[in-house]
Structure 1
């Protein structure tokens, strides 16, 4: 979540034991739908347990994602979710979170740039129906561009992984590990 700026202070939402969410800015109880709207408006907020003060923002956002995935058109396939679960507890867990976050930011930047570039065109020449058709035609091109980007990222990641393995091998060549040839000795069996 973005850090609050001087112009935009952090909105505090308290979660009570009865599962109700209280917005301290509006002095009213709100719902998960209201939290979703805050996210869509890029509002800066934090959700805390009213009793303990524990930060619950992530868990509430995960609840919203679960609701979105359960209804309508899900964003993640079962296979994608299974792959994400496999990263928990894995040595690459930290890398995965950063990787997803950076790639989502790239996608958002592309979306913003497309919106900026087409805004004038939309306002001058298109009605809402024509705009929707234009965006539907752009979807395959955008998906192709993202697939190319992901394939390039995969290639770079595999190269980085190979380099790390080579560096690790070079670093530990002087240590006798089971199943590895000792440094300076031949791999040939003695007769």
Structure 2
């Protein structure tokens, strides 16, 4: 009888082993990565508590992939992501999610082309994309700095410079 649940259930046991309930067999992180690549819906849960561990397992897969070969995330990029946790967390998460979705949509549209043609296209577009991303980063940086300067006009506001006398001198005594 076919499994009626479209989401594949993977159970994680205290010994850190993963068990695929659909195939009734133990699997590895590599197997879960294949499920992601094949766009197979799945959920990883703690076998004892039922707690959803899917995000944690996906982060583990990313960590392993970043350790092997050429990483996607540079140290500076990871530092930037860490800095965004807090007030801009939702905005960055939404931006990254939409950006990755856009790249995936482009790949799906180009899926009929051979991998070599796609590779040639991307390599020819790389300089333009780098220039556009550089411009975007610079604009984002300027927007952030302008926002900080705006808040600096209000003494006592978090991030304010503390300058508020007529001569532009600090009110704070060091």
Query: TM-score higher than 0.5 here?
Result: yes
Measured after TM superposition, the shift of residue 58 of structure 1 is 0.4
The ranges of structure 1 where at least 4 consecutive aligned residues each deviate by more than 4 angstroms after the TM superposition are: 151-162, 176-181
Q: Report the TM-score, using the length of structure 1 for normalisation.
A: 0.66
Q: Please say if residues 15 and 47 of structure 1, whose CA atoms lie closer than 8 Å, have aligned partners that are also in contact.
A: yes
What's 2:110 paired with?
114
Of 72, 77, 94, the residue aligned with 2:74 is 77
* Alpha-carbon displacement from aligned partner over 1:112-138 (angstroms, at most 9, x marks no partner): 22223x2xxx5xxxxxxxx63x44432
| 1:23-42 alignment, distance < 5 Å | 23-42=20-39
What's 1:3 paired with?
none
Structure 1 stretch displaced more, 35-44 or 151-160: 151-160
Of 47, 55, 61, the residue aligned with 1:58 is 55
Distance 1:17 1:8, change over 3 A: closer
Measured after TM superposition, the shift of residue 144 of structure 1 is 3.7
For 1:158 and 1:73, how far apart are their aligned partners in 2?
27
Q: CA RMSD in A?
A: 3.2
What's 1:125 paired with?
none
Q: Report the TM-score, using the length of structure 2 for normalisation.
A: 0.72
Q: Secondary structure at the match of 1:19?
A: coil
Distance 1:161 1:45, change over 3 A: same
* Alpha-carbon displacement from aligned partner over 1:80-133 (angstroms, at most 9, x marks no partner): 111111112x310111111101001111111222223x2xxx5xxxxxxxx63x
Distance 1:115 1:101, change over 3 A: same
Distance 1:14 1:82, change over 3 A: same
What's 2:44 paired with?
47
Q: Please say if residues 16 and 51 of structure 1, whose CA atoms lie closer than 8 Å, have aligned partners that are also in contact.
A: yes
What's 2:170 paired with?
none
1:142 and 2:138 aligned: no
Equivalent residue pairs, number: 159
- Give the gaps of 5 or more residues in structure 2: 157-161, 168-174
1:102 and 2:106 aligned: no
Measured after TM superposition, the shift of residue 157 of structure 1 is 6.0
Q: Please say if residues 8 and 44 of structure 1, whose CA atoms lie closer than 8 Å, have aligned partners that are also in contact.
A: no
